[in-house]
Structure 1
Amino acid sequence: MHIAAIITLLSTVRVLARSSNESQKEAWVPVDDLNKLANLMPASKLRPAVGLNLKYVLLGIDENVAPDTTKATTELYDIGTCLRENGFAKWIIGFISPLALSLSTRPADLDRMLHVQGFQRLAGHHFFDLDTLTGENIKWLLLKDLQGILRGGINTVYRVATAGGNKPTTCKGQKPNFVVDYTAQY
């Protein structure tokens, strides 16, 4: 059995073991110390996060947008709160982006998977205006607030473990404006 299937099965058992009343009464508060997860993130060529504290681990999933728009909006789900004490966090971090991408065309299955993993808490949204970009996927991205305009005490964002987002090899047969889905962890 594939490790992702085992983890999903174990997570399903964990969720089902909790009573529905108990889970409904729980107040959601994102944890504020995720530094243990920082060491579990996939290796990259980005500048290391020296002196920074990991505040959030978010799973970004493209929302369904109108095909005639050039704005891509992404829903950001808090996955760090659930992964913080999860013994399988290293493996989940490695497979959750591709799994979410593969389920993105089946919203009911995607919602079910997010719920089973405990990732149903929407933390926010972000969007890119793609009018001037080439559509090339950037698997690893480091964003720094150099002007002090970000809110919530966040001044550095890493995008890691990107799945999808690559432009097609040819645009033949595509509509003038089309969406290339991707998922990533932030």
Structure 2
Amino acid sequence: MTTPVAPSLDQTKPQLPPPSTGLHLKYVTLGRGKQNYTCSSSDASTAPVAIGAVATLFDASWIASSLPKLLDQVPPLLEQISLDNLTSAVRAVGISRETHGRDVAIGKHYFIDPTTPFFDFRISGLDDWAAAEKNASVNAPAPSSTVVNDVPTPDVAWLQLVAKDGVGIKEVYRIVTAGGSPPATCEGQASSLEVQYAAQYWFYG
């Protein structure tokens, strides 16, 4: 089976830019975690402000190469799995295969400041990591059924990120998202919001 070299971007209009010439696909992962927001007040004139995210990255390269149509169906299912049961559920359904003595989780995603996403594969014995910044963004192609505090919300945007520092990783795509967006306003919301999400992450270096 041919290994994919680029993510499927044709679901969005406009599309994200393609990977830069000369880069090679290093990892295809499924991310599962939380997008974080704050509300300075609880009235309708205030919008939630993004303050980062945290997620676990599971190796999905074998799905991308062998069952690419299945890969696009996984994020909405993964978003429904409790974080407390995440690792055991991923093992049970075979989303990520344990290889070379590594655990099913091969990386972590978090923010080192409010605007700098960080991707770290060193937890699985790999050298690759990147501190990135957003290069392009498009709305998710279809509305989600996600509900946050009784308010329907869309899926979080699809992104192309570029590394401003790192080892081995130059560009990152976040696509096929499920959940992650806050309500449109802070009306009736707490001062801090954690919104569950899942997504595909494609890494190039």
Per-residue deviation, 1:118: 3.9
In 2, Cα distance between equivalents of 1:42 and 1:113? 28
- The partner residue of 1:48 within 18, 23, 48 is 18
Q: SS state of the match for residue 185, structure 1?
A: strand
Matches within 5 A, 1:1-186: 36-38=3-5, 41-43=8-10, 44=12, 45-51=15-21, 52-62=23-33, 71-80=52-61, 82-83=62-63, 85-86=65-66, 89-103=67-81, 105=82, 107-108=84-85, 110-115=86-91, 116-119=93-96, 121-128=104-111, 131=114, 138-145=156-163, 147=164, 149-151=165-167, 153-186=168-201
In 1, Cα distance between equivalents of 2:156 and 2:24? 24
CA contact (8 A) 1:137 1:167 kept: no
In 2, Cα distance between equivalents of 1:162 and 1:130? 22
CA contact (8 A) 1:41 1:90 kept: no
1:145-171, CA deviations, whole angstroms, 9 ceiling, x for partnerless residues?
Answer: 2x4x212x1111111111111111342
Return the structure number with greater relative CO, CA threshold 8 A, min gap 6. Answer: 2
Identity of aligned residues (%): 30
CA contact (8 A) 1:41 1:93 kept: no
Number of residue pairs aligned between Structure 1 and Structure 2: 140
Structure whose residues are more often strand by fraction = 2
Q: SS state of the match for residue 154, structure 1?
A: coil
CA contact (8 A) 2:33 2:83 kept: no
Higher gyration radius (CA): 1
Counterpart residue identity of residue 26, structure 2:
K
Q: CA RMSD in A?
A: 3.3
Q: SS state of the match for residue 178, structure 2?
A: strand
| Superposition TM-score, scaled by structure 2 size | 0.56
> Unaligned stretches of 5+ in structure 1?
1-33
> Unaligned stretches of 5+ in structure 2?
39-50, 98-103, 116-153
Q: 1:54 to 1:99 in 2, by over 3 A?
A: same
